[in-house]
């Protein structure tokens, strides 16, 4: 059977309309939304598309340093609203404040 014992990896836009038991969002950092200041509404909508793909659990990872290009030092200041929304929702369980968050649906 094709796809058996595999983990699908896709972009937020490719995942539209699909649902999975668990979603892992790699790199919830300013660099992932590098045009956020120019297209706040579009990027916020994309973020909530990613959130809504998870049926049960949603994991976010982030890094303080990612060794590539002009975005080597990572931050979450520009997209702080995303983190605030997760915190305000009351469904966030922080596994380790430095590297990941888990959202229990």
The two beta strands, 20-25 and 100-104, are unpaired
- DSSP helix/strand/coil, 65: strand
Is the CA virtual torsion 29, 23, 17, 84 positive or negative?
Answer: negative
pLDDT averaged over every residue in the chain: 81
Lowest mean pLDDT among 12-16, 46-50, 67-71, 82-86: 67-71
Predicted pLDDT of residue 90: 75
Mean pLDDT over 47-75 rounds to: 82
DSSP classification of residue 15? T
- DSSP helix/strand/coil, 73: strand
Banded pLDDT at 37 (limits 50, 70, 90): very high
Mean pLDDT over 73-102 rounds to: 75
The better pLDDT of the pair 90, 71 is held by 90
Measured distance CA(39)–CA(26) in Å, rounded: 21
Taking Cα atoms as reference points, which of 88, 69, 68, 78 lies closest to residue 29? 78
Does residue 17 have a pLDDT over 70? yes
């Amino acid at each position: 059977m094709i796809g058996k014992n595999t983990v699908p990896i896709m972009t937020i836009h490719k995942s539209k309309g699909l649902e999975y038991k668990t979603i892992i969002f790699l790199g919830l950092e300013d660099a992932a939304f590098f045009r956020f200041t120019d297209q706040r509404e579009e990027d916020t909508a994309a973020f909530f598309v990613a959130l809504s793909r998870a049926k049960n659990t949603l994991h976010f990872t982030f890094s303080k340093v990612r060794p590539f290009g002009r975005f080597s030092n990572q931050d979450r200041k520009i997209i702080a609203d995303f983190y605030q929304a997760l915190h305000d929702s009351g469904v966030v369980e922080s596994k380790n404040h430095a590297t990941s968050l888990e959202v229990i649906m």
